[in-house]
Amino acid sequence: MAQPTRATPARARTSKPRAEQPTLRVLPGGLASVRLGPLQDMLGFQLRLAQEASFAGFARRTGDSGLKPGHFAALLVIHENPGLSQTALGAAVGRDKSTLTPKLTELERRGLIRRDRAAADRRSYALRLTPEGEEALAELQRHATAHDAALDRLVGPENRQAFLETLRRLIAGLDSDDT
In a domain, 124, yes or no: yes
Per-residue model confidence (pLDDT) at position 24: 62
At residue 162 the predicted structure's pLDDT band, cuts being 50, 70 and 90, is: very high
Domain count, the chain: 1
pTM: 0.76
In a domain, 22, yes or no: no
Mean pLDDT of 65-72: 90
In a domain, 84, yes or no: yes
What is the pLDDT of the chain when averaged over all its residues? 85
| C-alpha separations of 1 from 9, 165, 174 in Å | 21, 53, 51
Domain CATH for 98: 1.10.10.10
In a domain, 88, yes or no: yes
Could you list the residue range(s) of the whole structural domain that residue 157 is in?
Answer: 43-175
pLDDT in tens, 10-62: 444 444 444 555 566 666 666 678 888 899 899 999 999 999 999 999 999 99
Per-residue model confidence (pLDDT) at position 16: 45
In a domain, 9, yes or no: no
